[in-house]
Structure 1
Amino acid sequence: MTNLFSIFDPSTNIMNLSLNWLSTFLIFLFFPYTFWIVPSRLNLIYNSILFYLHKEFKMLIGTSKINLGNSLIFISLFSLILFNNILGLFPYIFTSSSHMAFSLSLSLPLWLSFLIYSWIFNTNHTFSHLIPQGTPSVLMPFMVYIELISNVIRPGTLAIRLSANMIAGHLLMTLLGNTGSSLSLLMVNLLIITQILLLLLESAVAFIQSYVFSILATLYSTETN
């Protein structure tokens, strides 16, 4: 390992084609289990989470005919990120959500589609968003620049937020794990307990970051209406 960040580098390849990115599609292995006549408890818990998200997204998006089915897009986005975050916690499984290539390829097309739709179909509404209500006339030109910059950096902030949080937890667990060979038996036991607690924290972060990513994408879509 030449440097600490090399643990995130794709290492399995055939004919210079990185096969580590195929771990993104491991989510399809879990789909057949949802078609059993008697669903498992895990499936029931996951369905209850999806129904809760559907109600929350529907409340944010609205109930007009043009918004019907939009919540399914963000639920699918949540599921994809969540499965990749959780699978990345297992040993020898490539964490694709820790790379900007993964997170930016999700946030950029969504943001661009919202932006193009709003400028074409809701031009006046989009112009009105550039100047917040109650802004003094002297500050209006500056507010336009500030709002434009904040809109342009949205896909970057979404992608960096997801990747940075996944990288931080993995790096901390790797740093602590590499010190195990030079510790005493008592310290190794403490290290194992610490690693288990960190693993629980990372499991919570996997849920939270997938939820934050999808809910922010939903909020960005509501500005186009």
Structure 2
Amino acid sequence: MMTSLFLIFEPSSSVLSLPLNWLSTFIGLLFLPMMFWLSPSRWLIVWSKVTSTLHGEFKSLLSPSHVGVTLVFISLFSLIVFNNALGLLPYIFTSSSHLAMTLSLSLPIWITLMIFGWLKHTQHMFAHLVPQGTPPVLMPFMVVIESISNLIRPGTLAVRLCANMIAGHLLLTLLSQTGPHILSSTILMILISSQILLLLLESAVAIIQSYVFTVLSTLYTGEIN
């Protein structure tokens, strides 16, 4: 009986109807006491430099009125990159490859920005619907186009992260399933080498997609002055 390959991305492990696969999202909380209360390690020093660099970059993208917002996006980046990296380990469910996870991150951010922007900066939000220099004839069409592009922002953020994580994991799964059917040792070594290279690529994608998700969220926030 043929089964869909996408079933590997569905959470299936459960005890008493409790989905255990989603517990991997909260494993990072176990490392927080060790990180904050023990003496600084090399890993903690490197992570502190990464967060300080992200803080400076996010601060340059935001207006001076957005004080302290960078901490929210650094926390968001940390959560996504941890879940992406955790999904590279065997037998651990990649929660960031599920739309339920990615939408729960992008949708609240977008709704918060929209409520705050339309209530506090209504005129500025209307001005965003018509770019500067638009001919009067095209203004009604630009309002429709900008409104649609604004409405699909949370969906594009969620689908971008979800699709990129699924694509790499699906390719690794397809290649690994061909291993038992290979008789030649040379082809098997090529397959293992390609798997290692793909795993390195997925490690880079896990970091890049976390960065892209966070930077786009920061840019959307910067539009709300």
TM above 0.5, yes or no, is yes
Distance 2:80 2:10 in 1: 19
Please name the residue that 2:180 is paired with.
181
Matched, 1:46 2:26: no
Amino acid at match of 1:85: N
Deviations 1:20-73, CA, capped at 9 Å, x for gaps: 111110111221331355322222111111000000011111223xx1110000
Q: CA RMSD in A?
A: 1.1
Shift of 1:192: 1.1
Please name the residue that 1:165 is paired with.
164
Tell me the percent identity.
62
| Structure 1 SS opposite 2:75 | helix
Amino acid at match of 1:95: T
Structure 2, unpaired ranges of 5+: none
Distance 2:83 2:205 in 1: 12
Distance 2:22 2:158 in 1: 17
Please name the residue that 1:144 is paired with.
143
Shift of 1:173: 0.3
Residues 29-178 of structure 1: matches in 2 within 5 Å? Answer: 29-64=30-65, 67-178=66-177
Structure 1, unpaired ranges of 5+: none
Distance 2:40 2:181 in 1: 47
Shift of 1:18: 1.3
Please name the residue that 1:204 is paired with.
204
Please name the residue that 2:190 is paired with.
190
Distance 2:208 2:20 in 1: 28
Amino acid at match of 1:192: I
Amino acid at match of 2:140: P
Distance 1:59 1:25 in 2: 31
Please name the residue that 1:24 is paired with.
25
| Structure 2 SS opposite 1:31 | helix
Shift of 1:106: 0.4
Task: Give me the TM-score of the superposition, normalised by structure 1.
Answer: 0.96
Amino acid at match of 1:213: F
Distance 2:87 2:145 in 1: 37
Amino acid at match of 1:172: L
Amino acid at match of 2:211: Y
- Shifted more, 200-209 versus 39-48: the winner is 39-48
Task: Give me the TM-score of the superposition, normalised by structure 2.
Answer: 0.96
Matched, 1:4 2:25: no
| Structure 2 SS opposite 1:39 | coil
Distance 2:174 2:143 in 1: 45
Shift of 1:2: 1.7
- Shifted more, 211-220 versus 181-190: the winner is 181-190
Amino acid at match of 1:179: T
Aligned length: 223
- Shifted more, 157-166 versus 32-41: the winner is 32-41
